[in-house]
Structure 1
Amino acid sequence: MNKYIPLITALLMAISGPATAQSGQEAEKIMQVMKEVQAFYSARPQSFNIYYTYSNEHTPGKVLDSLNGKMELSGESYRYVLGNTETIHNKRYTVVLFKEDKLMYVAVSDSSQKQANPLLPVKESLERTGVSGCEITHKGSQKLAQISFKEGVPYKYMELTLDTLSQRLLSMRYIVKTALLMDAQDTAPGSEYDEYAIVRAVLNNYKQLPADARRFDEQQFFSREGNELKVTPAYKEYKIFIGSPNL
């Protein structure tokens, strides 16, 4: 398997199919769950840890890979550390550090992105693919949303677990084609991987984040001199890769 599991955001946005909005009772159930959680993530600056695990579909108890991450978010700004990759986003720029390669990716932020929210990609994925069913169940203070997808898309199933008292997202679990997670040679016949994989993300250690705009400031990474971007002394070993035209 690759040395890191891609972010949930990247995985969900990779779903193929026409970008048609979903309607009907099943999609409405899902959207209602997301609206409830949105209120929590937009209420206050906060941080939390994310623990990813990967296993084959037919051997869910055998973890083949795992990775720890951390997210800090405040309004439309966030900082996300996952393995050797770090992403910083504010209203002006998105900066991604590839620490092993000493590469700094810089792009202009998407002005249409209103709020950093782990569930935003779920909404986007539902607008790109069909949902065949959604079941909402409750157990104590937890709400479980189980979502199944129509045939012909890379996702089979998605599961969200929420705390109904705090509206926090506790975990995500989904069954996805292994090819989305790995290089082509890793999924060749005879490899140890199934056609489908189970990826689980557990979110915990939620903390209120002290207000500090410098946490998401791009000037800690680079500065502009005329039409040229230059790395700061702390990142002198990095090369900048421009991800937006006319930056």
Structure 2
Amino acid sequence: MKRLYFLVIICLFSGLSGLRAQELAGLNEAIGALKSITENGKSSSTGFDIKYIYTNESQPSVILDSIIGSVEISGNNMYCRMNGTEAIRNEKYSIVVFKEEQLLLVGAARQDSAIDPLLSMQSIIVKSGAVSCNISVKGAVKTINIQFKQGALCKEMIMVVDTAKRQLRSLDYLVKSTMLVDPSMQAEQQLPQGYDEYALVRSTYYNYHNPKQTEDRFKEDQYFFKEGKTFKPTAAYSNYKIVLATPNL
């Protein structure tokens, strides 16, 4: 289901800037854990694989869809691949490559960019109206359970963090199933038969490693170049349409 990938983008990376950060017991500790992981990736190059699965809230053992991807981080540079989509962030640009649609989405680089899963999780925690945050610790493993306000896009988020290795192990979140259906049904808040009100999306993070990468991985000139103020695709992406996400880029 291609919509699962876009659900990940929408749920984790949606614009929630109109909401205020919450003063809530345990929340600063949760944010601090994610900041520690992010800083660990910036101090030395790191890579890891990600697997997402989707189920109904009432039947978490029945997998309805899944996608697999990988991430590489070097300083402020990041590369992310999921199925037929790639995302790159360097010092200047944020780029998303939609291979099936033959589309290049180009915007100005932002450190809270939607293509960075760790920063995006941190952002949604800060801005999304959490009502409770419970933390349990077993050895080096910290489990963070955050509940959100009634009717929110995300109902619950559970993170498991290895504090010794400064690595995220897993993330579970409950999101409204309307985010999974076709846009027409989404607009009318309709759900096909068999869908719960909320869906469980579980991501696991594994195979942490020091990637054998070159700086070419993060360079924009493999995708496009500029002639004056006009962006043009390179020969390898000559059939792609470029859409600018940032005005006057």
1:193 to 1:97, Cα distance in 2 relative to 1, 3 A: same
Q: Which residue in the other structure is 1:50 paired with?
A: 50
Q: Percent identity?
A: 33
C-alpha contact (below 8 Å) 2:177/2:199 kept by paired residues: yes
Rounded to whole Å, the distance in 1 between the matches of 2:89 and 2:178 is 28
The 5 A counterparts of 1:143-162 are 143-162=142-161
Supply the AA of the counterpart residue of 1:124: S
Q: Which residue in the other structure is 2:219 paired with?
A: 217
Q: Which residue in the other structure is 2:61 paired with?
A: 61
User: Which is worse superposed, 211-220 or 168-177?
Assistant: 211-220
1:76 to 1:182, Cα distance in 2 relative to 1, 3 A: farther
C-alpha contact (below 8 Å) 2:33/2:163 kept by paired residues: no
C-alpha contact (below 8 Å) 2:24/2:133 kept by paired residues: no
Structure 1 stretches of 4+ with a deviation exceeding 4 A read none
1:134 to 1:189, Cα distance in 2 relative to 1, 3 A: closer
Q: Which residue in the other structure is 2:209 paired with?
A: 207
Residue 17 of structure 1 deviates from its aligned partner by: 8.1
Supply the AA of the counterpart residue of 2:122: K
Residue 28 of structure 1 deviates from its aligned partner by: 2.3
1:16 to 1:194, Cα distance in 2 relative to 1, 3 A: farther
Give the structure-2-normalised TM-score: 0.88
Rounded to whole Å, the distance in 1 between the matches of 2:119 and 2:239 is 34
User: Which is worse superposed, 75-84 or 36-45?
Assistant: 36-45
1:178 to 1:16, Cα distance in 2 relative to 1, 3 A: farther
The one-character-per-residue Cα deviations of 1:14-35 (angstroms, maximum 9, x if unpaired) are: 3758421211323223223223
- The answer for unaligned runs of 5 or more in structure 2 is none
1:208 to 1:21, Cα distance in 2 relative to 1, 3 A: same
1:102 to 1:11, Cα distance in 2 relative to 1, 3 A: same
Q: Which residue in the other structure is 2:95 paired with?
A: 95
User: Which is worse superposed, 55-64 or 101-110?
Assistant: 101-110
Name the SS for the 1:25 alignment partner. Answer: coil
Residue 154 of structure 1 deviates from its aligned partner by: 1.6
1:40 to 1:189, Cα distance in 2 relative to 1, 3 A: closer
Q: Which residue in the other structure is 2:41 paired with?
A: 41
Rounded to whole Å, the distance in 2 between the matches of 1:239 and 1:127 is 35
C-alpha contact (below 8 Å) 2:25/2:132 kept by paired residues: no
How many residue pairs end up in the alignment? 245
Q: Which residue in the other structure is 1:84 paired with?
A: 84
Q: Which residue in the other structure is 1:239 paired with?
A: 241
Rounded to whole Å, the distance in 2 between the matches of 1:149 and 1:189 is 22
C-alpha contact (below 8 Å) 2:172/2:202 kept by paired residues: yes
Rounded to whole Å, the distance in 1 between the matches of 2:27 and 2:228 is 49
Residue 113 of structure 1 deviates from its aligned partner by: 4.4
Rounded to whole Å, the distance in 1 between the matches of 2:86 and 2:236 is 15
Correspondence 1:27 to 2:27: yes
1:167 to 1:12, Cα distance in 2 relative to 1, 3 A: same
Rounded to whole Å, the distance in 1 between the matches of 2:58 and 2:17 is 26
Q: Which residue in the other structure is 1:122 paired with?
A: 121
C-alpha contact (below 8 Å) 2:106/2:243 kept by paired residues: yes
Supply the AA of the counterpart residue of 2:209: K
Residue 200 of structure 1 deviates from its aligned partner by: 0.5
Supply the AA of the counterpart residue of 1:233: A
Q: Which residue in the other structure is 1:109 paired with?
A: 109
Give the structure-1-normalised TM-score: 0.89
Supply the AA of the counterpart residue of 2:179: L
Rounded to whole Å, the distance in 1 between the matches of 2:64 and 2:206 is 22
Residue 217 of structure 1 deviates from its aligned partner by: 0.2
